Amino acid sequence: MILTATATTIFWGALLLFVVQPLTARRLLPWFGGSPAVWVVSLLFFQTTLLLGYTYAYGAVRYLDGRRQAMVHTALVLAALWFLPLGPDRPPPPGAGSEDPTWVILGLLAGSLGLPLLTLSATNPLMQRWLAPTLASENRAGIYRFFALSNFGSLLGLWCYPFILEPWTSIEQQVRWWSYGYGMFALSTAVCAWYAYRERAQPTNAASFAREGGARNLGVQVLWLGLSATGAVLLMATSNQLTRNVAAIPFLWVLPLSLYLLSFIIAFERDRWYLRPLWAVIYLATLLAVIHWLGETDEPDFVVQLFVYSLNLLSGAMICHGELARSRPAAERLTSFYLIVALGGALGGAAVTLLAPHVFSGYWEYPCGLLAVYLLGGLAMPIVGRDRIFWALGGIALAVALVGHVSSERSRASDMRRSFFGVVRVSDRLAGTEDWERYLWSGTITHGGQLMAPGRHRTPILYYGPGTGVSVALYYDFGRPKRVGVIGLGTGSLAVYGREGDHYRFYEINPDVVDVAHDDFYYLAESEAEVEIVIGDGRLLLEQSPHLELDVLVLDAFTGDAIPVHLLTEEAFAIYERHLAPDGIIAVHVSNLHFDLKPVIRARAEAMGSVAVLVESDADERLVRYVSDWMLLTTNGEFLADPELQSLWVPRVADESEDLERFLWTDDYANLLGTLQ
């Protein structure tokens, strides 16, 4: 009976803990520009909370007897009910959208989720310790199987959110259901605590610690810390690498974290499932492929990359966590073991989230993580004799290769900067010739470019050249100087359309992009229009602005794969309409490799009573023009009758089966998964 109750509580608590992670990150996104870094910072908060939960569990077991542990933990679980329904439900402080908001996000999460998450984190090690006397003291694997069960619950909760909860329920419903789930968890915890209280599971914890012989060997504890930290670094660095080189789709972070949890399940469920030679060979094979790709500009197929990066992460995490499982202590010291593992995870997460952006100008924590797995895994494994010499030589070769990658990446970029919002870099093609071109990159996505030869600076190219939807909107004669707003600066390409008397206002959330546009490109400096740049989230800034009477509002924040959904909701378009002149035009750049946003824009246009025009442009090498899709929303009849627009207008093919209502996104509900193509 008590085994079933304990297993249920541990499983359910882990599921709740990992459902709430994407839920709260999704809730924070509109406040911080939709940046995918919101998830990475949120993950750091959850790792830190896990550490605090394990610290509390360790202290309770160390200094309280079984009855007091049960009473204190039950009281904390019940006290956490006061924080329901979950927050954060207040707006961010001023300026949070324009500066590095890492500490603001951490503060919001701590103030609204701290105690509920602390109790969820502490329940697993506490209940395992309560249950330990019930199992045979020599059966270390038996009690640690609950750790595998906990990770299985975490894995299930992680996948439930993006594929079940988010597509079919609103955030308000998700918060309400999670609160009901926490109530069930509190009841189940009280039952288990009552058993621990009644059985007096640990009458004198100091004695049990003394019987264990005090602290284990310091070297073993340092190894635990290093293995857990390295696993966390590999997890977060791989997540960054995938979003940079494969696709920054909001669901892709689920895969690395799932593989990370899976490695814990495999390692701690059965000792024989961790086969050292097998996982070492898989890691070395995938490591060679990854190192090769790091030095290449032409990358392999999406599916191939995803498979190899994922297998590399799983095998690397298996080495770290498999060696942890091999060296785990007896049940009497499981809380101290979990505490060290959690500390390592928090340190690894902090290294990637807080330290790396200020130390590295690129995502170089990834090669550091690859090297750390190789070195630490070799130290943990029983490599002896001549094999250790080969292992050391392999480590030296790997270090040289990774240093070479970093040097090569730096040499290919004329300018490279990193911040909370990601890495931006500038590269040249055919520098010094008549065909000299300069490009701005964010990850593998081009966010603008310019012809650098003298006399060619004012030629718009890529997604913004002649024959594109935005060119039609900006060339249109309103009979007055234009007032243009642009969300997303890039290189400032659209400033080239400005004429004397026009006013162009650009909204850009990443200060590094603003600096690069000024320092490395000429569009802004040579525009005939009056150009103004406002740093911050475009939606938040427009919401705070008085009526601007814009003739054209350009939404150019969707060419990458990390879609800022909060710019496409009903509430966002209500703000846009307030600032638009009666005959104004909203131009939305919907070019995207992974998402088809056209139904979202059509649905919003119908709800607004506007006409949505699709303009598709083919690639043109002579014009240095990329394939691009623009959608223009307006009620301006004269503009809709413009001959140039008519020649480019792509008629919509009627599809009676298309249900546009499901694409009517709000701040409370948005199903980005439904737009994957």
Q: Which two tokens stand for residue 390?
A: 């080969």
What pLDDT was estimated at residue 240?
A: 77
Q: What is the tally of structural domains in the chain? A: 3
What pLDDT was estimated at residue 276?
A: 86
242-246, 320-324, 656-660 — most confident range: 320-324
What pLDDT was estimated at residue 560?
A: 57
Quote the CA–CA distance of 184 and 194 in Å, as a whole number: 16
Pick the more confident residue, 345 or 130. 345
Q: What is the pLDDT of residues 205-253, one digit of tens each?
A: 444 444 443 445 778 888 899 999 999 999 988 887 776 655 545 566 6
Share of the chain above pLDDT 70, in %: 85
Residue 30 counted as domain residue = yes
Does residue 71 surpass a pLDDT of 60? yes
Handedness of CA 467, 473, 476, 480 (dihedral sign): negative
Residue 342 counted as domain residue = yes
| Interacting residues of 657 by C-beta distance below 8 A, sequence separation 6+ | none
Q: Which two tokens stand for residue 376?
A: 């630490």
Which CATH number fits the domain that encloses residue 23? 1.20.1250
Scored b (16 or more CB within 10 A) or e, 304-320 reads ebeebbbbbbbbbbbbb
Which residues constitute the domain of residue 202? 1-211
Residue 150 counted as domain residue = yes
Mean pLDDT of 460-483: 89
Residue 356 counted as domain residue = yes
Quote the CA–CA distance of 562 and 216 in Å, as a whole number: 46
Model confidence, pTM: 0.78
Does residue 316 surpass a pLDDT of 90? yes
Residues 234 and 286 in one domain: yes
Q: What is the pLDDT of residues 190-199, one digit of tens each?
A: 888 887 667 6
Does residue 586 surpass a pLDDT of 90? yes
What pLDDT was estimated at residue 195?
A: 76
Residues 73 and 124 in one domain: yes
Last residue of a domain, one of 377, 412, 447: 412
Residue 38 counted as domain residue = yes
Residues 365 and 229 in one domain: yes
The interaxial angle of helices 140-160 and 334-350, nearest 10 deg, is: 40
Residue 420 counted as domain residue = no
Residues 205 and 240 in one domain: no
Burial (CB count within 10 angstroms: exposed 0-12, middle 13-18, buried 19+), residue 214: exposed
Residue 625 counted as domain residue = yes
Residues 198 and 288 in one domain: no
| Interacting residues of 622 by C-beta distance below 8 A, sequence separation 6+ | none
Residues 229 and 168 in one domain: no
Which CATH number fits the domain that encloses residue 671? 3.40.50.150
Residues 52 and 145 in one domain: yes
Q: What is the pLDDT of residues 100-127, one digit of tens each?
A: 677 878 888 888 888 888 898 888 888 8
What pLDDT was estimated at residue 336?
A: 81
Quote the CA–CA distance of 100 and 210 in Å, as a whole number: 47
Q: What is the pLDDT of residues 28-57, one digit of tens each?
A: 776 776 666 677 788 788 888 888 988 888
What pLDDT was estimated at residue 134?
A: 59
What pLDDT was estimated at residue 138?
A: 43
Residues 196 and 226 in one domain: no
Detail the DSSP E strand segments found in 258-310: none
| Interacting residues of 266 by C-beta distance below 8 A, sequence separation 6+ | 273, 274, 318, 321, 322
Quote the CA–CA distance of 200 and 631 in Å, as a whole number: 69
Residues 35 and 66 in one domain: yes
Residues 203 and 243 in one domain: no
Q: Which of 122, 249, 247, 245 is nearest to 192 (CA)?
A: 122
DSSP letter, residue 161: I
What pLDDT was estimated at residue 211?
A: 41
What pLDDT was estimated at residue 352?
A: 87
Q: Please, what is the average pLDDT of the chain?
A: 81
What pLDDT was estimated at residue 578?
A: 92
Q: What is the pLDDT of residues 154-167, one digit of tens each?
A: 888 888 877 788 77
Share of the chain above pLDDT 90, in %: 14
How many whole angstroms from its chain centre is CA 198? 45
Q: What is the pLDDT of residues 502-513, one digit of tens each?
A: 999 999 888 889
Residues 619 and 495 in one domain: yes
Residue 442 counted as domain residue = no
Residues 342 and 400 in one domain: yes
Residue 175 main-chain phi, psi, to 5 deg:
-65, -45
Last residue of a domain, one of 179, 211, 243: 211
